[in-house]
């Protein structure tokens, strides 16, 4: 009896999940709706009960994945810890999310470089903006970071983490905890406020 609500939600969820998996394998244009339907165990028409079109399905999938990413990033975030520790924790979480959800990684990268991102710039995960952007802004306002345009920070960080995750996944290597910390040190050493010897802050 309480299963029905779950079941109803289940089909929508199944469609999203199948779309994610198939897009990783075949790309956007390589995955017809019929394939999604079959993979998700629903009829083709059912997809249109939950989504207006293939395009909105993909846009909604993007928000769905970004929501999941935002939640995963913030696990165990403790505002009482030093900012650098919090930063490292967030980076570790983000990295692990990619490793545990390679299809999400591939999909997100495909999406942001596709015309979708340009055509629906307003379609974003509100959760991600609220939480993750807030975290970065805090670091900027409190001068933990280099004095660059704040809008450059997040992409810069993401670029390196994505590169590392893609590398691990494509080469079928397992990074040790130390390896990962080293990668995050690359990011941190790059963007942290530099204390150059010849400049003195009184």
Q: Which residues bind a second copy (CB under 8 A)?
A: 25-30, 106, 109-110, 113-115, 146, 148-149, 151-152, 155-156, 158-160, 162-164, 166-167, 171, 179, 182-183, 186-187, 189-191, 194
**Smallest distance, Å, CB 62 to a second copy?**
14
Question: In the chain, what is the greatest distance between 2 CA atoms, to the nearest angstrom?
Answer: 71
Cβ proximity to a second copy: between 31 and 89 the closer is: 31
Q: What minimum distance in Å lies between the beta carbon of 9 and DNA?
A: 9
For residue 151, what are its two tokens? 């809008």
CA angle 123, 129, 134 (to 5 degrees): 165
Could you give the CA distance from residue 74 to residue 90 in angstroms, rounded to a whole number? 6
| Nearer Cβ to DNA (31/101) | 31
Cβ–Cβ under 8 Å, residues 66 and 128: yes
Cα torsion 40, 44, 45, 48: sign: positive
Nearer to DNA among residue 8 and residue 142 (C-beta): 8
Instruction: Enumerate binding residues for DNA (CB under 7 A).
Output: 1, 4, 7-8, 10-11, 31-34, 41-46, 48-50, 53-55
């Amino acid at each position: 009896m309480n299963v029905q609500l779950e079941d109803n939600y289940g089909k929508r969820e199944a469609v999203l999940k199948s779309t994610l998996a198939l897009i990783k394998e075949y790309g956007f244009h390589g995955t017809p709706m019929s394939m999604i339907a079959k993979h998700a165990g629903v009829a083709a028409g059912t997809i249109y009960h939950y989504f207006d079109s293939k395009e909105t399905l993909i846009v909604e999938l993007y928000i769905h994945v970004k929501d999941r990413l935002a939640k995963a990033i913030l696990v165990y975030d403790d505002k009482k810890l030093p900012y650098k520790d919090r930063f490292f924790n967030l980076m570790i979480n983000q990295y692990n999310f990619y490793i545990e959800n390679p299809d999400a990684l591939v999909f997100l990268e495909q999406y942001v470089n596709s015309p979708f991102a340009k055509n629906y710039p307003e379609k974003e995960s509100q959760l991600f903006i609220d939480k993750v952007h807030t975290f970065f802004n805090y670091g900027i306002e409190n001068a933990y970071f280099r004095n660059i345009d704040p809008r450059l920070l997040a992409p810069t960080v993401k670029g390196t983490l994505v590169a590392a995750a893609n590398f691990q996944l494509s080469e079928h290597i397992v990074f040790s905890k130390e390896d990962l910390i080293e990668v995050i040190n690359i990011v941190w050493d790059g963007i942290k406020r530099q204390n150059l010897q010849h400049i003195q802050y009184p």
